Amino acid sequence: MSIHIGAKPGEIAETVLMPGDPLRAKWAAETFLDDPVCINEVRGMLGFTGTWKGRRVTIQGSGMGMPSLSIYANELIRDYGAKTLIRIGSCGAMQESVALRDIVIGMACTAMSTPSLGFFKELSFAPCADYGLLRAAADAAAARGTPTHVGNIYSADVFYDERPDLNEQMTRHGVLAVEMEAAELYTVAARFGCRALAILTVSDHLLRGEALPSADRQTSFGDMVEIALEAAFS
Ligand code: HPA
């Protein structure tokens, strides 16, 4: 057991998929994994380990926002030996060329701050994805015919933003979409020599004011799980 994860030693796989929502972790494990076993219920942040095509996989909720994700990523790596961590989540599009249901793969992250900011002090660290995972996920998405965009994403600290001017700057600078976890995932993975990637479905559009109906979210989420699994084991 670690402080926030109740799994016993050996119950977590080296490959971990991390949705923000713990109920999505349950759904994904029950839908895509063989013999899923619940390995964490602490704080309701459900985690499951099973197999996909014979390979061991854990799907562990991260919660919302970088401080929450940081706790789970640190413990998965430091206490359980996770080596590959893939966030699967939703994002808000910041470009006209990106549409609802499209997939966005975060090559790099822009952030105002991350929980790691205090370590870096004056250094402006650039959180970036593992290139092998990135390339494999882009290939897997292309093979499915899912419209996919690869580039810079914004990892925000607030969902209810009071700075529309910052969003305008990011749109001007080609940032594809906003979410709330990837920058810290990439940073923690870099610190411990692990591979990380964020694969996101566009659930809302900041420029068009559109949002995906909740029934469609499950389908898009399933696509992401399969792309993440294919990328992890390619
Ligand atoms: N902001 C931050 N995170 C998000 C959004 C958003 O608009 N949509 C999905 N995740």
- Can you name the residues that pair with 204 across neighbouring β-strands? 92, 211
Ligand 1 centroid, distance to 116 Cα (angstroms): 21
Other Cβ atoms less than 10 A from the Cβ of 201: the count is: 25
Q: Is residue 208 part of a domain?
A: yes
Mean pLDDT of 188-204: 97
Is residue 3 included in any domain, yes or no? no
Give the whole-angstrom CA distance, residue 138 versus residue 222.
16
CA distance 17 to 79: 17
For the full predicted model, state whether its pTM sits above 0.95.
yes
- Which ligand 1 atom sits closest to the C-alpha of 91? 9
In angstroms, rounded to a whole number, what is the distance separating the alpha carbons of residues 203 and 155? 15
Does residue 1 fall inside a structural domain?
no
Per-residue DSSP letters for 111-169?
-S--TTHHHHTT-----B--HHHHHHHHHHHHHHT--EEEEEEEE-S-SS-S-HHHHHH
Q: How many domains does the chain have?
A: 1
CA-closest residue to ligand 1 atom 9: 91
SS3 29: helix
pLDDT digits (tens, 9 = 90+) for 167-176: 999 999 999 9
φ, ψ for residue 144, nearest 5 deg: -85, -10
- In this structure, is residue 5 part of a structural domain? no
User: Among the atoms of ligand 1, which is closest to the Cα of residue 179?
Assistant: 3
Let me know if residue 228 belongs to a domain.
yes
> What distance in angstroms lies between residue 203's CA and the mean position of ligand 1's atoms?
8
Q: The domain containing residue 107 runs over which residues?
A: 15-232
pLDDT given at position 217: 78
Domain holding 143: CATH number? 3.40.50.1580
Place 225 in a pLDDT band, splitting at 50, 70 and 90: very high
Residue 7 within any structural domain of the chain: no
Active site residues: 204
2 within a domain of the structure (yes/no): no
C-alpha distances in Å from residue 145, one per residue of 126, 203, 213: 30, 18, 21
Helix axes 22-32, 214-232, angle to 10 degrees: 60
